[in-house]
Structure 1
Amino acid sequence: MTDDEQLLAERSAAVVRHLDRVAAHLPADPDALTPMSSATDTVVLHLWQAVQVVIDLAVATCVRRGLGNPETYAAAFRILRDAGTIDAELADRLARAAGFRNLLVHAYAALDLRRVHAIATQGPADLRAFLVALQG
């Protein structure tokens, strides 16, 4: 296994661990995700970490493949789309995930927890799809 493959395997495992924590603590009812609760803190923290690792992988892949140094996190996914690494729909959703990551980091107190619940329910599939695309 090359160093790049080893790094991808390690980072992919980290994403999966974070997503497993999100799934384990995400209540079935969106209204049960309440401000300042342990479940909310756990979901937000691990969702943020999973998205951040995917962003880091996207930026590193752009640089490693000689595709350029993305000016923004969202741009990394668009560059990978243009290079044929991921499809356009996935790139758009991941670019929105990068924006959501910024909201998590910079405006935690103002989060719409129903939106967080929807993203925590639907978003992990996109993060996993990205990991699969990088392995291809």
Structure 2
Amino acid sequence: MVRAEVAGQKIAKAEAWLRDVEELLAATPETLLEDARRADLAAFYLFLAIQEAIDLAAHWIADAGWPPADDEGSTFDVLADRGGITPELASGMRAIVRVRNRIAHGYASVDHQRIRAEAPAGIATLRELFAAVAAASRA
């Protein structure tokens, strides 16, 4: 279980970034293509929100005394294996970690249209994780 104060702070920060991502990506595809700063900022804020999710999951694992995961994506498998989240949510989080990796390791060549297309499902998955973390922190 993640300590409530840690969970609350991290979730609030991540939610603020997700709202910014949604606002920035609400632009038309043409605007996104023409405004590199907007597109880069949306990708960066999404990256930051995903990082908070990974960090929350790592805190949850550490606070519960479970063995650490091998990598960011498998962090969510540990939570699913221990009953903290569903296997479906773990799978969705592994997918959003792949988006994070594309942003982190190929920033100059990030496909902003692909991020725009994948963002709604990814944001919903992140919010599902945040709800699970919040519930666990109150337990």
Q: TM-score, normalised by structure 2?
A: 0.88
1:81 maps to a residue whose letter is A
2:118 maps to a residue whose letter is I
Higher relative contact order (CA 8 A, sep 6+): 2
1:106 maps to a residue whose letter is H
1:78 aligned residue: 77
Report if aligned partners of 1:103, 1:111 keep a CA contact under 8 Å in 2: yes
CA RMSD across the alignment: 1.7
Q: CA deviation at 1:29?
A: 3.5
Gap runs ≥5 in structure 2: none
Q: CA deviation at 1:35?
A: 7.0
Whole-Å separation in 1 of the counterparts to 2:51 and 2:57: 10
> Percent same amino acid at aligned positions?
28
SS of the residue corresponding to residue 3 of structure 2 reads helix
Q: Could you tell which deviates more after superposition, 21-30 or 44-53? A: 21-30
2:59 aligned residue: 60
Q: Does residue 89 of structure 2 align to residue 90 of structure 1?
A: yes
Gap runs ≥5 in structure 1: none
Q: What is the total number of aligned residue pairs between the two structures?
A: 134
Whole-Å separation in 2 of the counterparts to 1:106 and 1:36: 21
Q: TM-score, normalised by structure 1?
A: 0.90
Whole-Å separation in 2 of the counterparts to 1:96 and 1:32: 26
Whole-Å separation in 2 of the counterparts to 1:111 and 1:29: 18
